[in-house]
């Protein structure tokens, strides 16, 4: 099973997210770690929106037994997403990206959760949409964070041109 996911994971990185990362870097000047941070920020907003309905219902109903665990779950999810954002910022910007292999289990779990969420037939409300958006942005951030950085553009040094030698000039 691990081998099958690694093939899918590598294909998603190489065929989908690396070209997207390169296009964002070329057209918008947005490097992969910044794009991954933006996805983590969007996932945080989605997480807040997905939890706000249940949390507000608990608070308005004075249900402390339900409100406190919901608030702790909200804070735990935000702490995880902020930690992921900081990881993207601290990742080395060299040719080899260590997040490609180390974050593979995280990408597997998020993709599994996203597929499971998309197959639920009752997903029609704002909370369900925000939850799917959070999972989608988290997956996009994890994949953009796993891409390699574009190599720096090398500018060729201008070589002085030598005067062409003519056969008649040597005689």
Question: Residue 47: which of 146, 141, 120 has the closest Cα?
Answer: 141
- Per-residue pLDDT 10s for the chain (171 aa) are 677 899 999 999 999 999 999 999 899 988 889 999 999 999 999 999 999 998 998 888 888 888 899 999 999 999 999 999 999 988 887 667 888 889 999 999 999 999 998 888 776 788 889 999 999 999 999 999 999 876 555 555 655 555 555 555 554
pLDDT at res. 160: 57
CA-CA distance, 86 to 36, in Å (whole number)? 10
Question: What ranges do the domains of the chain cover?
Answer: 34-150
147, 12 in Cβ contact below 8 A?
no
Give the DSSP per-residue string, 38-92: HHHHHHHHHHHHHHHHHHHHHHHTT-HHHHHHHHHHHHHHHHHHHHHHHHHHHS-
pTM: 0.81
pLDDT at res. 79: 97
2, 107 in Cβ contact below 8 A?
no
């Amino acid at each position: 099973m691990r081998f099958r996911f690694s093939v899918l994971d590598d294909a998603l990185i190489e065929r989908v997210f690396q070209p997207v990362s390169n296009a964002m870097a070329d057209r918008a000047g947005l490097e992969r770690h910044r794009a991954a941070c933006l996805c983590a920020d969007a996932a945080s907003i989605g997480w807040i929106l997905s939890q706000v309905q249940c949390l507000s219902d608990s608070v308005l109903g004075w249900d402390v037994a339900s409100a406190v665990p919901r608030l702790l779950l909200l804070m735990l999810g935000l702490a995880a997403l902020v930690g992921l954002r900081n990881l993207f910022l601290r990742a080395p910007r060299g040719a080899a990206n260590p997040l490609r292999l180390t974050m593979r289990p995280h990408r597997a779990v998020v993709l599994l959760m996203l597929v499971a969420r998309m197959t639920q037939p009752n997903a029609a409300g704002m909370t369900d949409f925000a939850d799917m958006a959070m999972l989608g942005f988290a997956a996009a951030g994890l994949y953009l964070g796993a891409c390699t950085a574009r190599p720096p553009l090398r500018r060729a040094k201008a070589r002085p041109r030598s005067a062409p030698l003519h056969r008649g000039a040597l005689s």
